[in-house]
Chains A and B, each alone.
Chain A
Amino acid sequence: MPGSRIVVGTFLDEDALLRAARDARARGVPVHDAFTPYPIHGLDEAAGIPPTRLGIVCFVGAALGLAAAFAMQLYTSAVSWPTNVGGKSFTATPALVPVAFEVMVLFAALGTVGALLVRAKLWPGRKPFLPASGVTDDAFVLALEAETDASATVTPAELLREHAARHVQEVEVE
Chain B
Amino acid sequence: MTATAAPHVSTAATGHHLLGAASFRVLAGLAALGTGALGLGLIVAPERAWPNLLLDNFYLLSVSLVGVFFIAIHRLAKAGWPTVLQRVPEAMTAYVPVGAVLMLVMLMGVPTLYHWSHPEAVAADALLQAKAGWLNVPAFAMRLVVVVALWWWLGRRIVRVSRRQDESGAIAETAAGMRASAVFTVVFALTFTIASIDWIMSLEPHWFSTLFPWYVFSSVACGGVALLTALLILLRRRGYLTATNEHHVHDLGKWVFAFSLFWGYLWFSQYMLIWYANIPEESVYYVARSEGGWWALFVANPIINVALPLLLLLPAAWKRNETLLFWVCVVIVAGHWLDLYIMVMPSATPAGPRIGPLEVAAVVGLGSLFLVLFDRAFRRAPMYPRGDPYFEESVHHHG
Contacts and interface: CB of A to CB of B under 8 A. Distances in A.
Interface residues of A, number: 14
A42 B398 contact: yes
B2 A42 contact: yes
Interface of A is mostly: helix
Contacts of A19: 4
A28 to B, nearest CB: 21
Nearest to A62: B314
B5 interface: no
B316 A41 contact: no
Given A41-B1, A45-B2, A51-B316, A94 B271 contact: yes
B398 A41 contact: yes
B398 A95 contact: no
Interface in B370-399: 398-399
Contact of B276 (A18, A42, A55, A95): A95
B318 to A, nearest CB: 11
A59 B314 contact: yes
Contacts of B315: 55
B215 to A, nearest CB: 16
Nearest to A55: B315
A125 interface: no
Interface in A61-104: 86, 88, 94-95, 97-98
Contacts of B1: 18, 41-42
Interface of A: 18-19, 41-42, 45, 51, 55, 59, 86, 88, 94-95, 97-98
26 contacts: A18-B1, A19-B4, A41-B1, A41-B2, A41-B398, A41-B399, A42-B1, A42-B2, A42-B398, A42-B399, A45-B2, A51-B316, A51-B317, A55-B315, A59-B314, A86-B276, A86-B278, A88-B278, A94-B271, A94-B272, A94-B275, A94-B276, A95-B276, A97-B268, A97-B272, A98-B272
Given A41-B398, A42-B399, A94-B272, 13 more contacts: A19-B4, A41-B1, A41-B399, A42-B398, A45-B2, A51-B317, A86-B276, A88-B278, A94-B271, A94-B275, A94-B276, A95-B276, A97-B272
